[in-house]
């Protein structure tokens, strides 16, 4: 009898908690309201979590949808991280520049990372997209340069700090941000990208450079040939570090990084002996210590994170729409025409260049002005087209993942994943192009989900949000994942 009473009480408590939760706004709103998920609603490890996307592998599920409005259970940042720029230790010259640029307080990641970086620690900085990571490492670096420069004899092509990126577009963007801060501080910023490396080898650039923002390939070649000197480099930043530590880059990166005298902690001198390292990204693979071991002691890394890493941001609604492949063009046109009528800038992501080309041509044929950016284009053309979108000349951009990482445009108010991304990390990076620091408050994301593989990834994302957990498998080592999958397929075929 007592066991029966316990079971009845447990059932009543669960029913009561669900009814209480339903009085609040849903975190996940579904086409079938009985599958809504509310703030405060939780599951035990023995519960079978019901998903709105559970039956999406069946053809009859077409036109079903659910919307993630955000994880209302997210942890709030402690009040200590709303310190002023003065309180975190930023010099007066830089504080004045920040004020002129419209920044009144540092963001959480800027406040958290400033002290370990300024003290010379090697730092792994991971924070959600659009929260100010670029300034989080640029401000302490520029402060270091102001302190070091009076004690260093100026030499051509001999920077004091280097920021390395995986893409030319990102290098130009970071260089522009750094230049805006440094232009009145007597700090020389140079942006160096590939594309004309042979010309630079024949006719080397000769300039004074305090901060160099560059791509891995171009910098590696010019260091190897001795055109750029490394003896004065006391700080290296790997921006979008997960990409640079991917198997696609790691061999070249390791060869380059081993040329520097990377220390466990740079001594506080002007300038210090040795070189410190900062890794920055919105996503970092779990095997990071193993990856960096080839060029530095992973135990030296201080980890700085925010509470929202590897999570869907709570201020941007994400709609997941189950469609058949043939339904996607019509649905796209309907959404984009609505955005154009309301003058909402929209970015449309595809997995392949051919699909990206199709999207732009399809929209143009339907009288929607659209520009196309993909990895097959010449660098100058890509930059020019993205600048057209960023400046407001065109409000519709069709692109591949070349535009998903680091590129900053606070204009974007709608992200459409015409093709759902293949990896969780890419989903976070793509959707991070909207809802950024300084963006409009009505940003949103729409995902077209058509293929079985896409459905399986959506189910994992939905389950993580319902359980209030980080998104699974946020591992940007894409090349290794693909190689493992091919190897498994080959082994299965042989059996």
- Residue 154 is predicted with a pLDDT of 86
> Which of the 8 DSSP states describes residue 275?
B
- Residue 490 is predicted with a pLDDT of 47
- Residue 477 is predicted with a pLDDT of 55
- Residue 76 is predicted with a pLDDT of 45
Residues of the chain where predicted confidence (pLDDT) is lower than 50: 1, 6-8, 10, 12-13, 15-22, 72-81, 478, 481-482, 485-495
Domains identified in the chain and CATH numbers:
22-73+311-479 (3.40.50.300), 79-305 (3.40.50.300)
**Residues in Cβ contact with 268 at an 8 Å cutoff, skipping those fewer than 6 apart:** 119, 120
Strand order in the sheet with 122-126: 189-192, 211-215, 161-165, 235-239, 276-281, 122-126, 301-305
The tens digit of pLDDT for each residue in 113-138 reads: 999 999 999 999 998 877 889 999 99
* H helices present in 57-191, as ranges: 85-88, 92-100, 108-118, 133-148, 168-182
- Residue 51 is predicted with a pLDDT of 95
* Cis peptide, bond prior to residue 266, ω within 30 of zero: no
Distances (CA, A) of 287 to 204, 232, 321, 343: 38, 31, 33, 43
- Residue 2 is predicted with a pLDDT of 54
H-helix or E-strand spanning residue 191: strand 189-192
Which pTM was predicted? Answer: 0.79
- Residue 486 is predicted with a pLDDT of 46
Nearest Cα residue to 139 out of 187, 74, 80, 171: 187
The tens digit of pLDDT for each residue in 259-303 reads: 999 998 877 677 888 899 999 988 876 667 677 888 999 889 999
Please list the residues that pair with 236 across neighbouring strands.
Answer: 162, 277
> Which of the 8 DSSP states describes residue 208?
B
């Amino acid at each position: 009898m007592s066991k029966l009473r316990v079971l009845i009480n447990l059932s009543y408590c669960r029913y009561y908690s669900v009814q209480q939760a339903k009085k609040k706004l849903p975190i996940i709103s579904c086409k079938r309201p009985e599958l809504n998920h509310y703030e405060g609603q939780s599951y035990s490890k023995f519960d079978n979590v019901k998903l709105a996307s559970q039956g999406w592998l069946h053809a009859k599920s077409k036109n079903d949808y659910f919307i993630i409005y955000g994880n209302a259970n997210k942890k709030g940042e402690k009040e200590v991280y709303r310190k002023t720029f003065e309180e975190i230790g930023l010099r007066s010259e830089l504080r004045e520049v920040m004020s002129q640029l419209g920044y009144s307080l540092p963001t959480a990641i800027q406040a958290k990372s400033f002290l370990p970086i300024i003290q010379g620690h090697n730092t792994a900085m991971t924070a959600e997209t659009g929260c100010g990571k670029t300034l989080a490492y640029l401000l302490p670096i520029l402060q270091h340069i102001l302190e070091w420069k009076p004690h260093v004899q100026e030499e051509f092509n001999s920077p004091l700090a280097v920021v390395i990126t995986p893409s030319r577009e990102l290098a130009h963007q970071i260089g522009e941000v750094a230049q805006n801060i440094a232009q009145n501080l007597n700090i020389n910023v140079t942006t160096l990208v590939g594309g004309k490396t042979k010309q630079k080898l024949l006719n080397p650039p000769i300039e004074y450079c305090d901060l160099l923002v560059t791509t891995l390939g171009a910098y590696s070649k010019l260091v190897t040939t001795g055109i750029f000197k490394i003896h004065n480099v006391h700080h290296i930043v790997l921006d979008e570090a997960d990409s640079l530590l991917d198997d696609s880059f790691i061999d070249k990166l390791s060869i380059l990084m081993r040329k520097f005298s990377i220390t466990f902690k740079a001594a506080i001198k002007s300038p210090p002996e040795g070189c410190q390292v900062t890794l920055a990204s919105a996503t970092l693979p779990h095997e990071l210590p193993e990856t960096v071991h080839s060029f530095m002691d992973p135990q030296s890394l201080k980890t700085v994170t925010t509470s929202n890493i590897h999570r869907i941001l709570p201020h941007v609604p994400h709609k997941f729409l189950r469609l058949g492949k043939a339904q996607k063009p019509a649905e796209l046109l309907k959404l984009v025409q609505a955005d154009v009528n309301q003058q909402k800038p929209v970015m449309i992501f595809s997995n392949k260049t051919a699909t990206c080309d199709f999207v732009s041509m399809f929209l143009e044929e339907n009288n929607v002005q659209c520009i196309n950016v993909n990895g097959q284009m010449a660098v100058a053309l890509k930059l020019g087209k993205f600048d057209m979108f960023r400046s407001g000349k065109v409000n519709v951009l069709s692109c591949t993942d070349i535009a998903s990482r680091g590129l900053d445009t606070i204009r974007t108010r709608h992200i459409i994943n015409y093709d759902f991304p293949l990896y969780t990390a890419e989903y976070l990076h793509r959707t991070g192009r909207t809802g950024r620091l300084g963006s409009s408050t009505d940003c949103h994301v729409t995902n077209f989900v058509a293929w079985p593989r896409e459905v399986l990834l959506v189910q994992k994302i939905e389950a993580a949000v319902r359980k209030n957990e980080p998104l699974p498998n946020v591992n940007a080592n894409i090349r290794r994942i693909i190689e493992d999958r091919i190897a498994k397929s080959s082994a299965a075929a042989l059996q």
